[in-house]
């Protein structure tokens, strides 16, 4: 792999080179911004005005490293992210495939492309009071994400868009196995829907990345799923909110 290329991709996706500002995280203040803070961008604590990901440098580096591990360790399957915002993590996945000259694996880009859904507390009590659906800064349409891929010359038939709510689209998705699944759905419902649909299709030795463990509903969804399925694999910390584990070669 051309590591210099993927290092540069990470810097561009996070926009640490020019250091654009951050959006004010308040649904009533769309369009307002604050100055660039390099430490916040390193660990993904801000919502950038321009950058193609809010994951921050550390979580982006984790994506690059685990995609590369899946390739190096010959873990079969494709790659998917559920909840992509502007597409940065998926762009990076596709870039790692390109850097390795791999043409027989795909990157699945799954999102509503219309922001987060309102909570359904009757079926998912942990999401009671969630207001993320009010943040229209999170609603990036598919055409914009496609344009972002094209800006890196990485929009091709190895990129597959999956539009809709995860509970509607993922169970019937004709895809898999997966070498890596990355979940960035924030909510209990979104996280549970993604795990239930995708984890059984994750190859042994494959990787699960969770972006939102700092959010109690997301963490609870992960803990509940792991408990229900007897998953004992160590959950590794990436930064203040991200984590990952490797699916054992046998059992779960």
CATH code of residue 172: 3.40.50.150
What are the average pLDDT values for consecutive 10-residue runs of the chain, which has 252 residues? 92 95 75 89 93 98 99 99 99 98 98 96 95 92 99 99 98 98 98 99 99 98 99 98 95 56
Model pTM above 0.85: yes
**Domain-embedded: residue 7:** no
Identify the domain containing residue 195 by its residue range: 56-247
pLDDT at 84: 99
Tell me, what's the pLDDT at 50?
94
Q: Where are the beta strands (DSSP E) in 83-200?
A: 107-111, 159-163, 178-183
Structure tokens at 39: 């430490």
Structural domain contains residue 13: no
Instruction: Give the integer Cα–Cα distance in Å for 190 and 130.
Output: 12
Give, for 18, the enclosing helix (H) or strand (E): none
pLDDT at 24: 73
Residue 148 lies in a domain: yes
Task: Note the pLDDT of residue 26.
Answer: 67
pLDDT at 32: 82
Q: Total domain count for the chain?
A: 1
Answer yes or no: is 26 within a domain. no
- 20 in any annotated domain: no
Give domain status of residue 140, yes or no: yes
Domain assignment present for 171: yes
- The verdict on residue 50 lying in a domain is no
What pLDDT does 25 receive? Answer: 74
């Amino acid at each position: 792999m051309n590591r210099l290329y993927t290092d540069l991709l990470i810097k561009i996706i996070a926009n640490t080179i020019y250091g654009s500002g951050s959006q004010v995280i308040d649904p009533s203040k769309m369009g307002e911004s604050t100055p660039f803070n390099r430490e916040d961008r390193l660990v993904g604590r801000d919502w950038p005005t321009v950058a193609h990901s809010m994951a921050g440098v550390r979580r982006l580096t984790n994506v690059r490293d685990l995609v590369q591990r899946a390739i190096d360790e010959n873990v079969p399957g494709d790659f998917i992210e559920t909840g992509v915002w502007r597409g940065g993590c998926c762009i990076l996945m596709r870039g790692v495939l390109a850097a390795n000259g791999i043409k027989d694996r795909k990157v699945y880009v799954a999102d509503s492309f219309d922001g987060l859904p309102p909570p359904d507390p009757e079926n998912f009590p942990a999401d009671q009071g969630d207001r993320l659906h009010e943040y229209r800064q999170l609603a990036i349409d598919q055409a914009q994400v496609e344009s972002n891929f094209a800006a890196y010359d990485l929009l091709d038939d190895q990129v597959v868009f999956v539009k809709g709510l995860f509970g509607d689209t993922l169970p019937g998705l004709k895809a898999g196995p997966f070498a890596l699944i990355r979940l960035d759905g924030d909510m209990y419902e979104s996280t549970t829907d993604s795990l239930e649909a995708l984890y059984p299709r994750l190859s042994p030795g494959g990787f699960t990345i969770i972006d939102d463990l700092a959010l109690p509903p997301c963490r609870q969804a992960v803990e509940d799923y792991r408990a229900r399925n007897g998953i004992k694999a160590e959950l590794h910390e990436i930064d203040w909110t991200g984590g990952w584990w490797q699916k054992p070669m046998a059992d779960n």
